[in-house]
Amino acid sequence: MARHQQQLRSQELRTHNHQGDALRLGMNWTEEDLSKPQVLVESAWGMGHPGTFHFEPLITEVNNGVFEAGGKPGVFTVSDICDGVIQATAGMSYSLVSRDVIAAMVEIHALGHPHDGMVLISGNDKSVPAHLLAIARCNIPSILLPGGTQLNAPDYVTSDQTWEIGMSVERGDIPRAELESRQQTACPTCGACQFMGSASTGQVMAEALGLALPGSALTPSFLTRHLRYARATGKQIVQLINKNIRPRDILTREAFENSIIIHAATGGSTNALIHLPAIAYEAGVDITIDDFDRIHRLVPVLANVKTTGRYPVEYFWYAGGVPRLMLELRDVLHLDCLTVTGKTLGENLAEIEKSGFFNERIGYLHNYKIDRDEIIRPRSRPFGTDGGIAILRGNIAPGGAIIKAFTVPKEMHVHTGPARVFDTEDDALDSLIGRRGARKVAPGEVVVIRYEGPRANGMPEMYFASAILAADPALNHTTALITDGRYSGAMKGPCIGHVTPEAIDGGPIALVEENDLIEINIPERRCGIVGIRKKAMEPAAVERALAERRGRWSPPPFRHTRGILSLYSRVATGSSQGALMTPHNGTRQDAIPAAAEPVSHNENAHLELVELEVRKRA
């Protein structure tokens, strides 16, 4: 329904709430501003990390664009925390739940006040999925402006590599000055980290879904082009309001399939398998981890980008970014999906091909004397023959588990080894490092870290454990990790995560004991116990042993009894359902929050309520 057929929420409210105008005029609004479409400009600006610190000029340019197009912006801020800063600390338990809290605050800002549309600015691990959740939930005209990427560092060293460098210092292999030098230069500008981790993956997913302007994902944050995208986004949101184009017009099942196709082609973060099903749920679309497995089997990895590949994601943008990747895959994409341009994906790509879009960018690669096809590979010469992700199942993970298969050494695609079992990541780290007198993990073993799922401990990332494994030449081609927690988007190697059901819910991972033989078979998508006490057994015998263990198992007490993690422990859904803090009970396609629709107006309603209250007191 176009705007001329439907009164704006902001104007509907003004017909009976007379205090609202007075309060806005108190903020130096003009009377003309009151009658304009009101646009929420919400960002994750803050001082938590380089991915948001540079947002103030972007906010200004979005505001300028909104004003130019005839709207009135209103600036709100809810910042995020940094997974890189809180890795290997208790703070990591707050990471995933922060996504839901940020989304809830955006919902409160968007629907509590009478906004007609919103622009959300984010670029990092939890702020981007939080904003996409809020966009799907609120269903008012919306655009996401990606926060962009950092300049690549000297020698292409990225901040995640400082873990390995630090361990080399601790072993005495290199001097501490080498670590300090890399720390000083790993993040030379603001923006998301330079690899295809969770932050970069989120930006790419936003564009692939059709919720960001074409070509805006992973814009180098130091280019003025980023400011132009911000201005254009501010203008375009007013057009979406005028045309009444809403997120659920865009977020169809086909749009989600497009995003999974692009996720496969970029070798994106495993965290997308938590976030995309959650976003789809809010949009009334059923997307499961099996959709990822199905699509990843068909779509090769084409992006030769860090951490598994060679180049920083800055170069991916120079090579043409998401639009170039989409053109390479156009025959498998749903080109009739609507986007925030008001046009279909196919129409956007056709316009880009006819424009100078790619010519501007490719010139940067000419400076580095790098061929575009080396960064975004043609399908005839893929970086990885299958997509990045595989879903494994078995008697440890009947609900599924996730592995970034294209990063796993070939010799570990099929592996059987004895289990080393730990109920916390800290205990596992002791044995991986060999500290505090713990018996060190031996080559060939399978490290099981449990009670780290959403309800048990907020589902922290086991990145430190995976980094130790990757940095140890005796373990990185022989030893695997399995957890009901998750991993950083920078993770690579034989690391299986998101095991469902999680241990605290009685998932079979809770029943694993020391020296159980665990089989991992990526080609056949299996992960399970195949023997007891290092001895192979028939499946029926294994099942009898597990049944006996279940009879004596009882869940440990929850770790968190106060605060937001206590609430998350009580209400979080499983990781395969998006680990949402909101009820997962089959939202209908038309189940839009009431405030997202215009107020059903009775100009005397407030007086009738007052009279009713007076009669009650009498």
Catalytically active residues are 488
Q: Which of 76, 81, 2 is nearest to 38 (CA)?
A: 76
441 burial type by CB count under 10 A (0-12 exposed, 13-18 middle, 19+ buried)? buried
- Peptide bond between residue 308 and the one before it cis (omega within 30 degrees of 0): no
Which phi and psi angles does 560 have, rounded to 5°? -110, 115
- Peptide bond between residue 494 and the one before it cis (omega within 30 degrees of 0): no
Report the distance separating Cα 330 and Cα 115, nearest Å.
36
Cβ neighbours of 171 (radius 10 Å): 10
* Full 3-state SS string of 120-186: EEECCCCHHHHHHHHHHHHCCCEEEEECCECCCCHHHCCHHHHHHHHHHHHCCCCCHHHHHHHHHHC
What's the token pair of residue 8? Answer: 């704006």
What's the token pair of residue 436? Answer: 């505090």
The dihedral formed by the CA atoms of 564, 568, 571 and 577, expressed in degrees to the nearest 10? 140
**How long, in residues, is the chain?**
618
Report the distance separating Cα 556 and Cα 566, nearest Å.
15
Residue 599 is classified by DSSP as P
Q: What is the largest CA-CA distance in the chain?
A: 84
Report the distance separating Cα 478 and Cα 474, nearest Å.
7
Report the distance separating Cα 124 and Cα 275, nearest Å.
13
Cβ neighbours of 589 (radius 10 Å): 9
Query: Are 140 and 165 spatial neighbours (Cβ–Cβ below 8 Å)?
Result: no
Report the distance separating Cα 365 and Cα 312, nearest Å.
12
Indicate the SS3 state at residue 118: strand
